């Protein structure tokens, strides 16, 4: 239990600070659960965005069952905190198996992901113990610059068959991310149609892969898709999958808003920062959030007009650069900054470009309900 | 004392890992001390790159005196660990004064930095207690996109005079960073002449500012310069300053090597990572270090040819992109990757683009002497 005194409101936090809007977070979580329920797919939420027990509780509706993680540290942290049915969705290689055994010993269900035969054989030769087999998902690349075997590659059949045939291995099915959906950031304010089109492509590729395996006598118990854009604005065809495993949707962010995954009013995290310097000769001001408070993510990807962050209530401001502890802010249209509107030490809030990258820079999240600070969450980190 | 079992060698660490070469680090620290001694300037090393007690000990030769920090958390951490004469080199604003008081109470000497009169008056109205005054440095902008008052601006005189005249304030002198020296990254493999030219410009601007203040009857006890490039390849004229306050030199990095601040053999930190996926159809491989292990810094700044990192012993490799936990690696010249040279699970080491940004992503640094792991350092973080 957190016994230290909390700041009273969001205007009292030390800056820079990562703030989480509790109502928006809960709403994002319940909306995704309802969506999955309606589509008839299971939800296995990814923990990599928030890495907290509290966030995992909201995503799993308190069951602490059926999650995805991206690091062994996350797997360890969540298993220690009573979470189970954990999928470590990362290409497994031999050097990580020992740590996997330790985690597996603490879980009823711990699943791994593979995309090559070498790792599969290493798993066969190093079973988890207690007579159990390794539960494995084959990673399928359905586009988007990730790991995995391309969905239309014949190795899908042989790699799945190998998992079915090898001892100490229990073949679960297919895992895919659908990174393609992120390419919608290339155009600003994409319409939902584009996301639904990606979703349709994703589902058809996964279903086709699963069908081909079935033709070869290999049953996939699970075959799902993971990206937040795809799962937030799903095409109806996604109901033919068994599982969604998005993560970012717990907070969303400015990038997701531009992709079209959410409304601005759904973004559940923001950074609080204060003005520390007026620099009239540069038509700039400096804020106390540099790259250690927000990360560089989006600095070079963001649309020209708005930079890498959306200042709340200040559409005229642009985040133009940073050093370790300073952010540089100017105007979007090159007009003169009206410094009277941003007094020294006054607070600004912005939605970060990529909440996963920004959250990871903070050892504390300040949780607020309205303006009131109601708690702190402490994420795990490392590998 | 660290009692847990250490990995035996740098080839046994869990990946991704941040490795610190103890001999190189010691050499970088002693070389900077000797340089300052020869030039007749004091050294006030910045702690922001490593944020560890052990690093601070090496930089101060065990005295734990005379350091710079960039956050209040660093100030608190180092003061708790017996460091003193600490300069919080960040534009002070009113909301941060209370925390400064708490830190000041633990130090014999705790200095602040200001660049506006409003903050100075807030300090006057809220003295540190015990009859002490706030020791302050005026930040001078001598170029390079930072905070501070431009060196040739008349506010230098009036702002310094205000500090001299106000009660509860003790004017120490001038602080400047010399961010200009970093512009040497624009061209690859800059010759030392360029850095020395910047150093000459820096020293002339600071000395000129100090001289003007003297003409107005204001004495600067301290006037120094801070950037690692400037202090690593100093122009002789820098001997007219009283203080150097660089930080990055403890580790250096690939960016500093390209600037010309150091030799490749001086870079004292590296990231260990393992190959987790071969993706022949993309002429890529994936490593287990994504943006949480290295940061995005340099991804878009690095010279085309080499990307954002220098793979040690593998000049042919280029770090071309990343997701949260995956790095994408291809060849520098577009030729086919020879996958036999990089088996799955094999280790690669790279010098990061910006050691400050990469170190901040790691909660543990693995310290090595030769190939042997000899300890762990644990940095502080946050604000």
How many CB contacts within 8 angstroms connect chain A with chain B?
144
- Measured in angstroms, the CA of B363 and the nearest CA of chain A are apart by 7
**B231 and B270 in a common domain:** no
Q: Name the closest residue on chain B to residue A293, using Cα atoms.
A: B382
From A259, A291, A322, give the residue that closes a domain: A259
**B306 and B237 in a common domain:** no
Q: Are A23 and A369 in contact (CB under 8 A)?
A: yes
More confident residue, B374 or A303: B374
Of A15-19, A353-357, B191-195, the one with minimum mean pLDDT is B191-195
pLDDT given for residue A188 in this prediction: 45
Average pLDDT over residues B314-327: 93
Structure tokens at B42: 């004091």
**Is there a contact between A145 and B299 if contact means CB atoms under 8 Å apart?**
no
pLDDT given for residue B184 in this prediction: 61
**Is there a contact between A274 and B299 if contact means CB atoms under 8 Å apart?**
no
Determine, yes or no, domain membership for B197: yes
Structure tokens at B334: 């577009």
Average pLDDT over residues B174-191: 67
Cβ-based contacts of A282 with chain B (< 8 Å): 145
pLDDT given for residue A301 in this prediction: 57
| pLDDT confidence band for B188 (50 / 70 / 90) | very low
Determine, yes or no, domain membership for A280: yes
**A193 and A174 in a common domain:** yes
Give ipTM to 2 decimals.
Answer: 0.96
Q: B33 φ, ψ to 5°?
A: -65, -45
pLDDT given for residue B153 in this prediction: 96
Instruction: Using the predicted structure, report yes or no on whether residue B335 has a pLDDT greater than 90.
Output: yes
- Measured in angstroms, the CA of A117 and the nearest CA of chain B are apart by 11
From A211, A231, A259, give the residue that closes a domain: A259
Residue B363's domain is classified under what CATH number? 2.40.37.20
pLDDT given for residue A186 in this prediction: 43
Determine, yes or no, domain membership for B144: yes
| pLDDT confidence band for A120 (50 / 70 / 90) | very high
pLDDT given for residue B30 in this prediction: 98
Q: Are A75 and A276 in contact (CB under 8 A)?
A: no
pLDDT given for residue A298 in this prediction: 81
**B191 and B43 in a common domain:** yes
Show the domain range for A281.
Answer: 264-377
Average pLDDT over residues A231-255: 95
Mean pLDDT of chain B: 93
pLDDT given for residue B279 in this prediction: 96
pLDDT tens per residue across span A289-313 = 999 999 988 876 555 555 689 999 9
**B204 and B271 in a common domain:** no
Of A83-97, A231-245, B149-163, B290-304, the one with minimum mean pLDDT is B290-304
Determine, yes or no, domain membership for B304: yes
Determine, yes or no, domain membership for B18: no
Mean pLDDT of chain A: 93
pLDDT given for residue A144 in this prediction: 77
Structure tokens at B251: 């580790």
Cα pseudo-dihedral B328, A77, A95, A100, rounded to 10: -120
Cβ-based contacts of A324 with chain B (< 8 Å): 48, 70, 356-357, 360
Domain count, chain A: 2
pLDDT given for residue B187 in this prediction: 42
pLDDT given for residue A197 in this prediction: 87
Sign of the CA dihedral with B268 first, then B274, B280, and B284 last: negative
pLDDT given for residue B195 in this prediction: 87
Instruction: Using the predicted structure, report yes or no on whether residue B50 has a pLDDT greater than 90.
Output: yes
**A255 and A311 in a common domain:** no
Pairing of strands A309-311, A347-352: antiparallel
Q: Are A118 and A142 in contact (CB under 8 A)?
A: no
**B268 and B240 in a common domain:** no
Task: Convert B218-251 to b/e letters by CB count within 10 Å (16 or more is b).
Answer: bebebbbbbbbbbbbbbbebbeebbbbbbbbbbb
Determine, yes or no, domain membership for B205: yes
Cβ-based contacts of B282 with chain A (< 8 Å): 145
**A174 and A58 in a common domain:** yes
State percent of chain B over pLDDT 70: 95
Q: Name the closest residue on chain B to residue A283, using Cα atoms.
A: B145
Average pLDDT over residues B252-264: 93
**Is there a contact between B145 and A278 if contact means CB atoms under 8 Å apart?**
no
**Is there a contact between B70 and A324 if contact means CB atoms under 8 Å apart?**
yes
**Is there a contact between A16 and B383 if contact means CB atoms under 8 Å apart?**
yes
**Which residue in the set B94, B276, B381 is minimally distant from A363, CB to CB?**
B381
Closest among A357, A221, A244, A342 to A291, alpha carbons compared: A357
pLDDT given for residue A192 in this prediction: 60
Cβ-based contacts of A15 with chain B (< 8 Å): 95, 383
**B147 and B107 in a common domain:** yes
**Which residue in the set A274, A296, A297 is minimally distant from B93, CB to CB?**
A274
| pLDDT confidence band for A31 (50 / 70 / 90) | very high
**A268 and A255 in a common domain:** no
pLDDT given for residue B299 in this prediction: 75
Q: Name the closest residue on chain B to residue A92, using Cα atoms.
A: B276
Cβ-based contacts of B15 with chain A (< 8 Å): 95, 383
**B155 and B72 in a common domain:** yes
**Full DSSP string of B8-31:** SBTTSS-SSEEEEEHHHHHHHHHH
Closest among A192, A249, A202, A214 to A44, alpha carbons compared: A249
| pLDDT confidence band for A37 (50 / 70 / 90) | very high
- Measured in angstroms, the CA of A297 and the nearest CA of chain B are apart by 6
pLDDT given for residue B297 in this prediction: 86
**Which residue in the set A15, A277, A324 is minimally distant from B48, CB to CB?**
A324
**Is there a contact between B382 and A360 if contact means CB atoms under 8 Å apart?**
no
Average pLDDT over residues B255-274: 95
Residue A91's domain is classified under what CATH number? 3.20.20.10
Instruction: Using the predicted structure, report yes or no on whether residue A285 has a pLDDT greater than 70.
Output: yes
Cβ-based contacts of A299 with chain B (< 8 Å): 296, 300
**Is there a contact between B299 and A297 if contact means CB atoms under 8 Å apart?**
no
Instruction: Using the predicted structure, report yes or no on whether residue B70 has a pLDDT greater than 90.
Output: yes
d(CA B365, CA B352): 14
Determine, yes or no, domain membership for A10: no
**Is there a contact between A90 and B382 if contact means CB atoms under 8 Å apart?**
no
Closest among A355, A299, A298 to A322, alpha carbons compared: A299
Cβ-based contacts of B276 with chain A (< 8 Å): 90-91, 93, 147
Instruction: Using the predicted structure, report yes or no on whether residue B186 has a pLDDT greater than 70.
Output: no
More confident residue, A85 or A182: A85
Instruction: Using the predicted structure, report yes or no on whether residue B144 has a pLDDT greater than 80.
Output: no
Q: Which of A227, A279, A284, A379 to mutate to test the interface with B (most CBs of B within 10 A)?
A: A279
pLDDT tens per residue across span A128-180 = 998 999 999 999 999 877 899 999 999 999 999 999 999 999 999 999 987 77
Q: Which residues contact B232 (CB under 8 A, 6 or more apart)?
A: B32, B35, B195, B246, B249, B256, B261, B262
pLDDT given for residue A308 in this prediction: 81
Structure tokens at B381: 């973080």
**B282 and B208 in a common domain:** no
Determine, yes or no, domain membership for A5: no
**Is there a contact between B326 and A71 if contact means CB atoms under 8 Å apart?**
no
From A259, A275, A290, give the residue that closes a domain: A259
């Amino acid at each position: 239990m957190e016994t230290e005194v909390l700041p009273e409101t969001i205007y009292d936090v030390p800056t820079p600070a990562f703030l989480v809007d509790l109502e928006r977070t809960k709403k994002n979580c319940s909306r995704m659960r309802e969506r999955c329920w309606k589509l008839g797919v299971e939800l296995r939420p990814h923990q990599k965005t928030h890495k907290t027990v509290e966030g995992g509780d909201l995503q799993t509706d308190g069951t602490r069952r059926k999650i995805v993680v991206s690091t062994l540290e996350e797997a360890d942290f969540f298993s220690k905190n009573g979470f189970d049915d954990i999928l470590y969705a990362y290409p497994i290689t031999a050097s990580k198996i020992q740590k996997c055994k330790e985690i597996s010993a603490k879980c009823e269900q711990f699943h791994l992901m593979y995309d090559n035969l070498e790792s599969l054989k290493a798993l066969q030769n190093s079973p988890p113990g207690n007579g159990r087999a390794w539960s494995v998902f084959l990673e399928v690349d359905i586009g988007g610059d990730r790991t995995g075997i391309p969905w239309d590659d014949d190795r899908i059949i042989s790699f799945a068959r190998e998992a079915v045939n090898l001892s100490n291995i229990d073949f679960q099915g297919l895992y895919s991310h659908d990174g393609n959906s992120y390419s919608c950031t290339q155009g600003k304010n994409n319409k939902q149609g584009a996301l639904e089109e990606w979703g349709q492509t994703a589902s058809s590729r996964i279903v086709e892969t699963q069908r081909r395996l079935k033709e070869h006598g290999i049953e996939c118990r699970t075959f799902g898709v993971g990206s937040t854009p795809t799962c937030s604005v799903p095409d109806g065809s996604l109901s033919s999958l068994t599982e969604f495993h998005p993560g970012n949707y717990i907070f969303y962010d400015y990038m997701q808003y531009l992709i079209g995954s959410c409304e601005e009013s759904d973004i559940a995290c923001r950074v609080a920062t204060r003005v520390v310097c007026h620099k009239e000769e540069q038509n700039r001001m400096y804020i106390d959030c540099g790259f250690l408070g927000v990360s560089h993510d989006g600095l070079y990807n963001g649309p020209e007009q708005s930079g890498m962050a959306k200042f709340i209530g200040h559409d005229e401001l642009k985040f133009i650069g940073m050093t370790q502890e300073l952010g540089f802010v100017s105007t979007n249209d090159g007009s003169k900054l009206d410094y009277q509107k941003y007094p020294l030490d006054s607070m600004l809030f912005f939605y970060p470009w990529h909440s996963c990258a920004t959250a990871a820079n903070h050892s504390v999240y300040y949780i607020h309900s309205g303006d009131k600070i109601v708690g702190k969450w402490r994420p795990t980190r490392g590998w």
